[in-house]
């Protein structure tokens, strides 16, 4: 007698994704789950593929603009996929994909490991940092990442490792942005043997610098645009007097021009329209094309 295998435990339907993004916008996910282990995640991936469902992964929901129409298929949120192991003598750090990068930075500092002091103010996860080559304060993920463990959704029984040299790292870029691979964990090699108090002090100083110059009290995605080096996106936008420019509930932050904030009732469409308006003004007056760091999901 055949038995029917139902969906894995933890699946929910019609979950509002605005509750899972730092901009607080985004429509419903047809199916949604928050796996707490790699085994749970791989079981969910296998189910989605067997059902022929589209698959999307989100971490902390930062650097992400999800359509008001929401997402079809299965959306996996990694924020419960947390944990890290540190070797203070060798400088090796292995962290789960959903580990908040600020949490890892503070833990490394307390262990006397230098290298992640820049990451303390980044509102994202280890997996997201690897995908985006996140950076700040003159540092970036590519400098310290040794490898990532990933899985191809079409072969969920066979996770494998990619070395940093295989990830095609560039400014805010990695090959993981083009390929449909899911990050499970990341391995860093930091600089060991430092005074924990000194590393912690540098980490705290970096956090203070960011929170005093950026709108941390309002929903945002972090920096919206890549810097068109040697220019700075925020300076180009500010020079045009665009601080405070609003469309619907979306506003160019009066504190930092490379941030767009949700003033309380923004929709994803408002944010998208404001991004395009800023791009058009900068293109018109400076002849420079600003490229968003933001990843858009949905129709």
Q: What is the CATH number of the domain that holds 68?
A: 3.30.43.10
- If residue 276 lies in a helix (H) or strand (E), which one and from where to where? helix 268-286
Same domain, 183 and 96: yes
| 208 within some domain | yes
Percent of the chain predicted with pLDDT > 70 = 98
Q: Among the three residues 185, 213, 241, which one is the final residue of a domain in this structure?
A: 213
Residue 218: count of CB within 10 angstroms of its CB: 17
Residue 73 falls in which region: left (phi positive, over 0), alpha (psi -120 to 50) or beta: left
The catalytic residue among 172, 187, 210, 267 is 172
Whether 117 is catalytic: no
Query: What pLDDT digit, counting tens, does each position of 167-178 carry?
Result: 999 999 999 999
- What pLDDT does residue 12 have? 97
Total domains in the chain come to 3
- If residue 275 lies in a helix (H) or strand (E), which one and from where to where? helix 268-286
Residue 153: which domain range? Answer: 84-213
Same domain, 71 and 103: no
CA distance 239 to 250: 20
| 268 within some domain | yes
Same domain, 188 and 106: yes
| 226 within some domain | no
Query: What pLDDT digit, counting tens, does each position of 32-68 carry?
Result: 999 999 999 999 999 999 999 999 999 999 999 999 9
Contact 28, 14 (CB under 8 A): yes
Strand partners, 170: 173
Q: Among the three residues 37, 52, 77, which one is the final residue of a domain in this structure?
A: 77
pLDDT averaged over the chain? 95
Same domain, 89 and 203: yes
| 4 within some domain | no
| 227 within some domain | no
> How many residues does this entry show for the chain?
299
| 2 within some domain | no
Q: What is the CATH number of the domain that holds 95?
A: 3.30.465.10
Same domain, 91 and 127: yes
Contact 249, 267 (CB under 8 A): yes
Query: What pLDDT digit, counting tens, does each position of 106-153 carry?
Result: 999 999 999 999 999 998 999 999 999 999 988 999 999 999 999 999
Q: Among the three residues 77, 97, 123, which one is the final residue of a domain in this structure?
A: 77
Residue 288 has pLDDT above 90, yes or no: yes
Whether 223 is catalytic: yes
Residue 18 has pLDDT above 80, yes or no: yes
Same domain, 20 and 73: yes
The catalytic residue among 34, 40, 117, 293 is 293
The catalytic residue among 147, 223, 253, 267 is 223
Same domain, 89 and 65: no
Same domain, 73 and 88: no
E runs forming strands in the chain: 12-16, 28-33, 55-58, 64-66, 71-77, 84-87, 92-96, 135-136, 139-140, 145-151, 160-163, 182-189, 246-247, 250-252, 260-262, 295-297
- What pLDDT does residue 6 have? 66
Same domain, 24 and 136: no
Closest CA to 208 of 216, 219, 196, 199: 216
Give long-range contacts, CB 8 A cutoff, 24+ apart: 42-47: 42/151, 42/156, 42/157, 42/159, 43/8, 44/8, 44/10, 44/11, 44/74, 44/76, 45/76, 45/151, 45/153, 45/156, 45/182, 46/156, 46/157, 47/7, 47/8, 47/74
| 120 within some domain | yes
Q: Is pTM, for the whole model, over 0.95?
A: no
Query: What pLDDT digit, counting tens, does each position of 234-264 carry?
Result: 999 999 999 999 999 999 999 999 999 999 9
Contact 30, 14 (CB under 8 A): yes
Same domain, 142 and 21: no
Same domain, 156 and 63: no
Query: What pLDDT digit, counting tens, does each position of 65-117 carry?
Result: 999 999 999 999 999 999 999 999 999 999 999 999 999 999 999 999 999 99
Whether 110 is catalytic: no
| 222 within some domain | no
Query: Cβ contacts of residue 248 below 8 Å, gap of 6+?
Result: 265, 266, 267, 269, 270, 273
- What pLDDT does residue 1 have? 38
Same domain, 70 and 169: no
Residue 3 has pLDDT above 60, yes or no: no
Question: What letter does residue 19 receive in the DSSP assignment?
Answer: G
């Amino acid at each position: 007698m055949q038995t029917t295998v139902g969906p894995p435990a933890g699946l929910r339907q019609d979950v509002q994704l605005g509750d899972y993004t730092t901009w607080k916008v985004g429509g419903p996910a047809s199916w949604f789950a928050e796996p707490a282990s790699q085994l749970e995640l791989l079981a969910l991936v296998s189910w989605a593929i067997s059902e022929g469902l589209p698959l999307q992964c989100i971490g902390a929901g930062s650097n992400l603009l999800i359509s008001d129409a929401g997402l079809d298929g299965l959306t996996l949120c990694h924020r419960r996929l947390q944990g890290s192991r540190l070797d203070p003598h060798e400088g090796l750090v292995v962290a789960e994909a959903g580990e908040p990068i600020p949490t890892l930075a503070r833990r490394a500092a307390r262990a006397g490991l230098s290298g992640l002091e820049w990451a303390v103010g980044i509102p994202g996860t280890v997996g997201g940092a690897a995908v985006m080559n996140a950076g700040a304060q003159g540092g970036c993920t590519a400098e310290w990442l040794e490898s990532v463990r990933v899985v191809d959704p079409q072969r969920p029984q066979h996770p494998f490792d990619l070395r940093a040299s295989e990830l095609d790292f560039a400014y805010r870029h990695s090959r993981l942005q083009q390929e449909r691979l899911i990050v499970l964990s990341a391995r860093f090699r930091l600089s060991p043997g430092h005074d924990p108090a000194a590393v912690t002090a540098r980490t705290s100083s970096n956090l203070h610098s960011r929170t005093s110059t950026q709108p941390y009290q309002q929903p945002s995605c972090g920096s919206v645009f890549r810097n068109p080096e040697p220019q700075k996106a925020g300076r180009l936008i500010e020079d045009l007097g665009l601080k405070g420019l609003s469309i619907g509930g979306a506003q160019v932050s009066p504190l930092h021009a490379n941030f767009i904030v949700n003033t309380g009732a923004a929709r994803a469409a408002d944010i998208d329209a404001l991004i395009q308006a800023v791009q058009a003004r900068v293109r018109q007056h400076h002849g420079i094309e600003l490229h968003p760091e933001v990843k858009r999901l949905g129709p």
